[in-house]
């Protein structure tokens, strides 16, 4: 393994006086898919926010492709090749599908190429190109969100709770897409509260609890050894 | 019939100019959530700049126009978005209102400073050319105005729907955080929309200046027309804004054509836009309570009762000394300061405690003064009745906007002030056109206070009483509820508080205090007229209140003194007036984010001031929001007041939607 | 007749349907759980019930009266109290003052019956946050602030409590104490409707559970029934593979009193 695409070193972050990340260490190897698991309140979402630049760290370092990017702004990181799909609504509901796709070209790939890739992967989006994104079903909205990951050829794809609020069938389809993206060589960090789906497509898994990464390893080992932590109630 | 057509054309032309200005207002509001009260002031300044280029410096007309619209205006817009309004969209409405009111006043001061009053004239475009349309003529200028509005509409449509940056503008309305994750730059988007917005204000100003004349106020107050038009589109729909502007243009034109030239209806023509604004606000649908916006606001510390009594008596003793020894002229000044201070106390209640902004506080004082003069009961009974009448009027203003919040309430006070100014105060049953009314000195329990010194002392007694009353109220049930309502309206609602009537009551009480001040002022002066309560002057009053500290009684007393000193300072040198306005305005632009103002600095005492100066200077540096995470070090325990500037609280990123790791507002304390 | 009846409520934002023909009830003196995956529409339901959100269609009946169009504060006066997922404590007041405001509001502005210090202390004591009485509400930990919101509600002597994720931010022992408090409140006749992610707590205290998914109620019943309902697992677990090998990805479903729990095979569609 060469230099990891993402390396998080002793990262801390807090909301006010409440410390949420208490020294996170994590490395995502180039070309690998890593699942980050853990119960509600373990600090997964906060870690995502810090990595993608939405929240400032209070200590520690983040390296993206060997470059220290701690405290870079989200838009800089996006232009550097970090593609973040945040939890919840990650499309612009009052823009049409096509307009959403046009905006994805900020990450560096021309708009025409983005449209072409998105429509070839998801023909359904082509049918609905003129429709407002907010009026589509949750699954279709996530397809649209995933188009950004597909079309922008990112250095690292950061997926936060992809399955949130979606029907299992659709979650399966989405994870098939994730697998496809992974097959094309993109490194992926995939944050999920519910372990099984994510583990299906990952090469490695890490478990967070209480603001730290408490275990890393192959998906099978993690599933066996970390059952309690993953499945435990809210911290 | 031909006159009808020509009035229609005239209406469409004004409507076109309003539409251009209003679309700029809508653009900046939707993309940055900052309502630019100074939109008209920018139009005014840019019209002056246009005059300066084309008439004074003699540059070619087209070149001046290009310079103004494509260089000066965009540069100003960029500057404002970068250094003044950045991050203000997330701040409480009261902060963003105060900051843009600061721009409003500052720009007027600036214009007076650069272009001192003199007769100036901007000719219409192609004054010699006109076209015949049936029986009427359309001038080239009129045609250009209408064509400009069409071009603006088309260009805006293309920008917003056909370009990536325009799409990004609409996207940043939805979710600026997500736009960043896409790699877009919301700040650049904001700068662009401000550049375009100010440019449109400039175009509106330049097109209207040959009709309205180059005047500091007339052009600036045209912003009310733009508000009114924009409000029909609920501040977001550009097509409806155009419809609103055209409708308003026609309405104004027909009103001036067909309303009788006698009586009250005559003056209606001057206030059509304000009435239109009221009407539109009333038909707006109910605003729903917003949740997830909780902010603890750090206020100036409350003095203990003993301290309050001590300082109050001290103030009285000081005024007593002055009353015995000062000249008549100086006594009048002290009395004026007391008047302003009482009006500012009404703002402490409304803005400092309640979190609402009124742009008509001096008008309420005028209502009190008018009532006092008309009642001809120069005694406590007349005084109290005057205050009650002002309170009732205040409640009436708040009533139509019962269902709405913040911004709309403030705008309706502005419309109210304008209506009173141009219609009611000038009417025969009130002060009369440019007229005055006599008002007697107050007598208390049969003892007339005839000497000016005694009267001024009596005024300061009222000042101290009101101040004590406010402090008691703040400590009591109502005060806690006011703070609770400011912090979380949603929680108050679910706890069973009917906030609508509470808000009307608050507004009424605040207007009543202002009315009391006005009535006392009437007695002080002996004659009183509408000129004493010009609506515009409510704005510097609000600004000074904020600069000196609108959360504390001390701030109000200092602010009242400051406002009284303004004309005194500028009387020696009229030039200075503009400069002072500019200073106050732009000062408030920076102070507006911390309503605790200068008074809070005084509370902190000598050595603490020093430790405060550095961060204060820092916070004026451009990237203010970026400093949101900096913690204040001076965490003083015990009194429940932490000296974190407001901006730090309000710019704290709130965890998104379903965040469960932490609560939304745990970060407020240093 | 139930204390609270939510009848065929639909809420649409733009084109997105957040609540889709949801109907459920909550009874007086009982604890009812409202669970479901993130984004299922639970908080939107709460907003509809408490009046912060107008439903696109459907009805809400509370205490024998239709309250669908009743303003927020009047529902509260009729005995409905709620807490918030994203905290709504009065940040610039102290914890004590927060409760005091609630008492003031409840007892009317004229305050003929002034809230005595004892009343406030009793409320703080009851939810167990007396230690924080003098602190500003924006400086206390999340879990404490949630308890403060509960204390504020209790000041209004509600017939129905709507609790939105009340236990998040509490540690284990605090959660246990909180569960006891809920049972006590229910025993005194108060109806409780609770959105909660901590399944241990939900399973331990709830008398009945409604499961929401995509804005619709997909299951209602006793905790034990819900636990074993395949539809629920499917919705809640967010997966649909085979792999029934071990019992619970559903957090905390194997609590000690039901050690025989074996989840049935989740319908494999693939």
User: What DSSP letter does each residue of chain A carry, written as one string?
Assistant: --S-SEEEEEEEEEETTEEEEEEEEEEE-TT-EEEEE--TTSSHHHHHHHHTTSS--SEEEEEETTEE-TT--HHHHHHHTEEEE-SS--S-TTSBHHHHHHHGGGGSS-HHHHHHHHHHH-HHHHHTTTSBGGGS-HHHHHHHHHHHHHHS--SEEEEE-TTTT--HHHHHHHHHHHHHHHHTT-EEEEE-SSHHHHHHH-SEEEEEETTEEEEEE-HHHHHHHSHHHHHS---
Q: Categorize the per-residue pLDDT at A65 as very low, low, confident or very high, splitting at 50, 70 and 90.
A: confident
Which residue, among B158, B212, B153, B145, has the nearest Cα to B24 in the 3D structure? B153
B-interface mutation test, from A19, A41, A43, A45, most B Cβ less than 10 A away: A45
Length of chain A: 235
Contacts of A23 (CB under 8 A, 6+ apart): A10, A11, A12, A60, A211, A212
Neighbour count for residue B299 (Cβ, 10 Å): 23
The pLDDT assigned to B323 comes to 82
Question: What DSSP assignment string belongs to B492-528?
Answer: HHHTT--HHHHHHHHHHHHHHHHHHHHHHHHHHHSEE
Chain A contact set for B166 (CB, 8 A) = none
Interface of A with C in 68-127 (CB under 8 A): 87-88, 93-94
What is the Cα–Cα distance from C196 to C204, expressed in whole angstroms? 12
Integer Cα distance of B668 and B663 in angstroms: 11
Taking a C-beta distance cutoff of 8 angstroms, is the pair B37, B97 a contact? yes
Q: Is A78 on the interface with B (CB under 8 A)?
A: yes
- B658 contacts in chain C (CB < 8 Å): 38-39, 85
DSSP string, B21-49: HHHHHHHHHHHH----TTHHHHHHHHHHH
Query: How much is the CA Rg of chain C, to the nearest whole Å?
Result: 19
Residue A171 has pLDDT above 70, yes or no: yes
Q: Give residue B633's pLDDT.
A: 37
Cβ contacts of A40 on chain B, cutoff 8 Å: 660
Spatial contact of A16 and B667, defined as CB atoms under 8 Å apart: yes
pLDDT band for position A165 (cuts 50, 70, 90): low
Strands C16-26 and C31-35 come out as unpaired
Based on its alpha-carbon atoms, the radius of gyration of chain A, rounded to whole angstroms, reads: 17
3-state SS, residue C16 = strand
Q: For residue A114, what are its two tokens?
A: 């983005």
Q: Measure the CA–CA gap between C255 and C253, rounded to whole angstroms.
A: 6
Contacts C246 to A, Cβ<8 Å: 227
Question: Cα-flanking dihedrals φ and ψ of residue A85, to 5°?
Answer: -110, 100
Report the range of poorest mean pLDDT among A30-44, B80-94, C21-35, C105-119. Answer: C105-119
Q: What pLDDT is stored for residue B203 in this prediction? A: 95
Q: Which of the other chains make 3 or more beta carbon contacts under 8 angstroms with chain B?
A: A, C
Query: How high is the pLDDT of residue C110?
Result: 56
b/e burial code for range B499-534 (CB count within 10 A of at least 16 → b): bbebbbbbbbbbbbbbbbbbbbbbbbbeebbbebbe
Please state whether beta strands C31-35 and C191-195 pair in parallel, antiparallel, or not at all (unpaired): parallel
- Ranges of chain B whose pLDDT falls below 70: 1, 285-301, 402-403, 405, 570-575, 604-670
Question: Is A200 close to C241, i.e. CB distance below 8 A?
Answer: yes
Task: Tell me the pairing of strands C31-35 and C57-62.
Answer: unpaired
Outline where DSSP puts E strands in B90-229.
130-133, 136-139
**B385 CA to centre of own chain:** 28
Pairing state between β B527-529 and B436-438:
antiparallel
| pLDDT of amino acid B665 | 35
CA dist., res. B45 & res. B114, Å (int):
10
The CA-CA-CA angle for residues C190, C195, C199, to 5°, reads 105
Task: Return the pLDDT at C193.
Answer: 95
A225 in contact with chain C, both atoms CB, cutoff 8 A: no
Q: In Å, how far from its chain's centre is CA C257?
A: 24
Residue with tokens 């008398």: C207
Q: Does A107 contact chain B (CB < 8 Å)?
A: yes
pLDDT value for B90: 75
N- to C-terminal Cα separation, chain A: 34
Distance (Å, rounded) from C-alpha C224 to C-alpha A137? 32
- Predicted model pTM: 0.80
Residues in chain C: 270
Using CA coordinates, name the residue in chain A closest to C15.
Answer: A135
Confidence band (pLDDT; 50, 70, 90) for A17?
Answer: low
Helix (H) or strand (E) holding C189: none
Give B348's Cβ-side CA count (13 Å radius).
34
The band of C148, judged by pLDDT with boundaries at 50, 70 and 90, is very high
> Residue A59 forms beta bridges with which residues?
A12
B658 touches chain C (CB under 8 A): yes
Question: Do B11 and B252 touch, CB atoms closer than 8 A?
Answer: yes
Q: Chain C 187-226, CB below 8 Å of chain B: which residues?
A: 197
Task: Report CB contact under 8 Å: A227, C234.
Answer: no
Considering only residues 452 to 471 of chain B, which have any Cβ-Cβ distance to chain C shorter than 8 Å?
Answer: none
Looking at residue C213, what DSSP letter applies?
A: E
pLDDT in tens, C6-27: 999 999 876 677 888 999 999 9
Question: For chain A, which chains pass the contact test of at least 3 CB pairs under 8 Å?
Answer: B, C
SS3 assignment, position C229: coil
Cβ-Cβ contacts under 8 Å, B490 against chain C: 52, 72, 84, 88
Our CA-based measurement puts residue B478 at a distance from the nearest CA of chain C, in whole angstroms, of 8
Q: Determine the residue of chain C that is closest to A161 in CA distance.
A: C38
- Neighbour tally for B366: CB within 10 Å: 33
* B contact test, residue of C70, C75, C92, C105 with most B CBs within 10 A: C92
Q: How far is CA B166 from each of CA A103, B159, B450, rounded to the nearest angstrom?
A: 10, 5, 67
Half-sphere exposure of C250 (CA within 13 A, CB side): 30
* pLDDT for residue B228: 87
C-alpha span between C52 and B490 (Å, rounded): 8
Average predicted confidence (pLDDT) for chain C: 80
- A93: Cβ contacts below 8 Å, ≥ 6 apart: A132, A133, A134, A135, B174, C14, C16
C57 pLDDT higher than 70: yes
pLDDT at A219 over 90: no
> Quick check: C150 pLDDT over 90?
yes
Compute the half-sphere exposure of residue B164: CA atoms within 13 Å on the CB side of its CA. Answer: 16
What Rg, from alpha-carbon coordinates, does chain B have?
25
Query: Which uninterrupted H or E stretch holds C192?
Result: strand C191-195
CA distance B224 to B284: 17
Q: What is the mean pLDDT of residues A80-101?
A: 86
Percent of chain C residues past pLDDT 90, beyond the cut: 37
Cα separation of B420 and B366, whole Å?
9
**What local confidence, expressed as pLDDT, does residue A14 receive?**
84
C160-164/C80-82 β-pairing: parallel
Residues of C with CB under 8 A from a CB of A: 13-16, 37-40, 139, 141-142, 167-168, 197-201, 214, 234-235, 237-241, 243, 246, 248-252, 269-270
CA angle B337, B338, B340 (to 5 degrees): 65
């Amino acid at each position: 393994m060469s230099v990891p695409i993402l390396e998080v070193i002793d990262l801390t972050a807090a909301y006010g006086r409440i410390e949420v990340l208490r020294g996170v260490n994590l490395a995502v190897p180039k070309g690998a898919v890593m699942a980050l698991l853990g119960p509600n309140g373990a600090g997964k979402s906060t870690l995502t926010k810090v990595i993608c630049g939405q929240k400032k760290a209070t200590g520690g370092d983040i390296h993206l492709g060997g470059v220290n990017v701690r405290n870079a702004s989200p838009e800089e990181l996006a232009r550097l090749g970090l593609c973040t799909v945040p939890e919840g609504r990650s499309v612009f509901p009052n823009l049409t599908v096509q307009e959403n796709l046009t905006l994805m070209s900020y990450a560096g790939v021309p708009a025409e190429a983005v449209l072409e890739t998105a429509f070839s992967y998801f023909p359904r989006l082509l049918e609905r190109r003129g429709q407002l994104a907010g009026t589509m079903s949750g699954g279709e909205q996530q397809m649209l969100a995933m188009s950004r990951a597909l079309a922008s050829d990112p250095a690292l794809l950061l997926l936060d709770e992809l399955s949130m609020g979606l029907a299992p069938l659709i979650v399966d389809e989405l994870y098939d897409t994730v697998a496809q993206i992974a097959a094309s060589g993109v490194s992926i960090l995939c944050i999920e509260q519910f372990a099984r789906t994510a583990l299906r497509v990952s090469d490695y898994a890490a478990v967070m609890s209480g603001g730290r990464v408490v275990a890393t390893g192959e998906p099978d080992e993690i599933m066996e050894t970390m059952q309690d932590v993953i499945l435990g109630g809210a911290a | 019939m031909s006159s009808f057509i020509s009035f229609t054309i005239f209406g469409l032309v004004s409507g076109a100019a309003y539409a251009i200005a209003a679309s700029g207002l809508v653009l900046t509001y939707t993309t940055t959530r900052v309502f630019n009260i100074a939109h008209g002031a920018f139009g005014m300044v840019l019209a002056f700049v246009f005059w300066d280029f084309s008439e004074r410096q003699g540059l070619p007309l087209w070149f001046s126009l290009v310079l103004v619209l494509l260089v000066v205006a965009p540069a100003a817009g960029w500057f404002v978005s970068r250094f003044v309004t950045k991050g203000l969209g997330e701040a409480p409405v009261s902060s963003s209102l105060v900051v843009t009111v600061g721009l409003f006043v500052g720009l007027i001061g600036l214009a007076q400073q650069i272009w001192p009053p003199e007769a100036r004239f901007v000719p219409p475009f192609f004054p010699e050319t006109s076209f015949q349309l049936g029986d009427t003529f359309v001038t080239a200028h009129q045609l250009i105005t209408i064509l400009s509005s069409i071009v603006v509409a088309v260009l805006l449509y293309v920008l917003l729907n056909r370009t990536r940056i325009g799409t990004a503008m609409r996207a940043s309305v939805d979710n600026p955080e997500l736009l960043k994750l896409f790699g877009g730059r919301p700040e650049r988007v904001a700068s662009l929309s401000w550049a375009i917005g100010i440019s449109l204000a400039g175009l509106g100003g330049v097109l209207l200046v040959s009709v309205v004349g180059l005047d500091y106020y007339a052009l600036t107050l045209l912003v009310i027309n733009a508000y009114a038009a924009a409000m029909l589109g609920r501040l977001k729909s550009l097509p409806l804004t155009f419809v609103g502007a055209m409708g308003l243009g026609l309405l104004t034109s027909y009103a001036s054509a067909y309303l009788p030239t006698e009586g009250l209806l005559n003056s209606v023509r001057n206030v059509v836009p304000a009435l239109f604004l009221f009407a539109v606000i009333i038909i707006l649908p109910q605003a729903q309570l917003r949740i997830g916006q909780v902010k603890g606001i750090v206020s100036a510390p409350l003095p203990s009762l003993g301290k309050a009594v001590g300082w109050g008596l001290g103030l009285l003793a000081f005024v007593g000394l002055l009353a015995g020894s000062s000249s008549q002229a100086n006594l009048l000044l002290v009395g004026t300061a007391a008047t302003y201070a009482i009006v500012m106390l009404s703002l402490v209640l409304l803005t400092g405690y309640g979190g609402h902004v009124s742009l008509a506080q001096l008008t309420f004082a005028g209502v009190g003064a008018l009532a006092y003069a008309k009642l001809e009961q120069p005694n406590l009974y007349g005084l109290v009745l005057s205050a009650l009448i002002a309170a009732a009027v205040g409640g009436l203003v708040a009533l139509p906007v019962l269902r709405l919040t913040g911004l709309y309430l403030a705008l309706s006070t502005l419309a109210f002030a304008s209506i009173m100014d141009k219609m009611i105060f000038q009417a025969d049953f009130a002060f009369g056109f440019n007229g005055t009314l006599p008002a007697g000195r107050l007598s208390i329990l049969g003892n007339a206070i005839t000497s000016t010194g005694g009267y001024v002392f009596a005024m300061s007694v009222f000042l101290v009483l009101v101040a004590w009353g406010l402090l008691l109220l703040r400590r009591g049930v109502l005060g806690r509820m006011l703070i609770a309502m400011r912090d979380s309206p949603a929680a108050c609602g679910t706890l069973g508080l009917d906030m609508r009537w509470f808000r009307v009551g608050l507004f009424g009480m605040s207007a009543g205090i202002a009315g009391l001040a006005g009535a006392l002022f009437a007695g002080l002066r002996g004659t009183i007229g509408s000129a004493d309560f010009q609506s515009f002057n409510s704005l510097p009053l609000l600004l000074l209140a904020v600069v000196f500290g609108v959360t504390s009684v001390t701030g109000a007393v200092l602010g009242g003194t400051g406002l009284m000193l303004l004309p005194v300072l500028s009387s020696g040198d009229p030039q200075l007036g503009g400069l002072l306005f500019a200073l106050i305005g732009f000062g408030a632009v920076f102070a507006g984010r911390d309503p605790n103002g200068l008074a809070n600095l005084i509370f902190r005492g000598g050595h603490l001031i020093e430790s405060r100066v550095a961060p204060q200077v820092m916070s004026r540096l451009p990237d203010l929001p970026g400093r949101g995470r900096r913690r204040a070090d001076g965490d003083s325990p015990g009194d429940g007041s932490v000296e974190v500037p407001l901006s730090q609280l309000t710019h704290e990123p709130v965890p998104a939607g379903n965040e469960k790791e932490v609560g939304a507002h745990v970060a407020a304390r240093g | 007749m139930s204390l609270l009846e939510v009848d065929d409520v639909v809420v649409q934002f733009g084109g997105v349907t957040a609540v889709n023909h949801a109907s459920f009830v909550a009874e007086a003196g009982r604890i009812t759980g409202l669970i479901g995956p993130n984004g299922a529409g639970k908080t939107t339901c709460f907003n509809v019930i408490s009046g912060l959100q107008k439903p696109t269609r459907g009805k809400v009946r509370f205490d024998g009266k239709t309250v669908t169009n009743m303003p927020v504060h009047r529902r509260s006066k009729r005995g409905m109290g709620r807490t918030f997922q994203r905290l709504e404590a009065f940040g610039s007041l102290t914890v004590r003052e927060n409760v005091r405001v609630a008492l003031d509001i409840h007892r009317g502005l004229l305050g003929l019956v002034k809230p005595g210090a004892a009343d406030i202390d009793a409320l703080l004591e009851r939810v167990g946050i007396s230690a924080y009485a003098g602190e500003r509400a924006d400086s206390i930990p999340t879990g404490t602030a949630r308890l403060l919101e509960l204390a504020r509600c209790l000041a209004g002597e509600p017939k129905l409590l709507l609790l939105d994720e009340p236990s998040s931010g509490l540690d284990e022992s605090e959660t246990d104490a909180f569960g006891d408090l809920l049972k006590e409140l229910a025993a005194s006749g108060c109806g409780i409707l609770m959105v909660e992610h901590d399944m241990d707590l939900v399973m331990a205290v709830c008398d009945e559970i409604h499961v929401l998914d995509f804005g619709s109620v997909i299951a209602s019943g006793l905790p034990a029934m819900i636990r074993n309902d395949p539809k629920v697992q499917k919705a809640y677990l967010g997966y649909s593979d085979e792999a029934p090998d071990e019992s619970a990805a559903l957090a905390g479903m194997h609590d000690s009193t039901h050690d025989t729990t074996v989840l049935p095979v989740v319908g494999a569609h693939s």
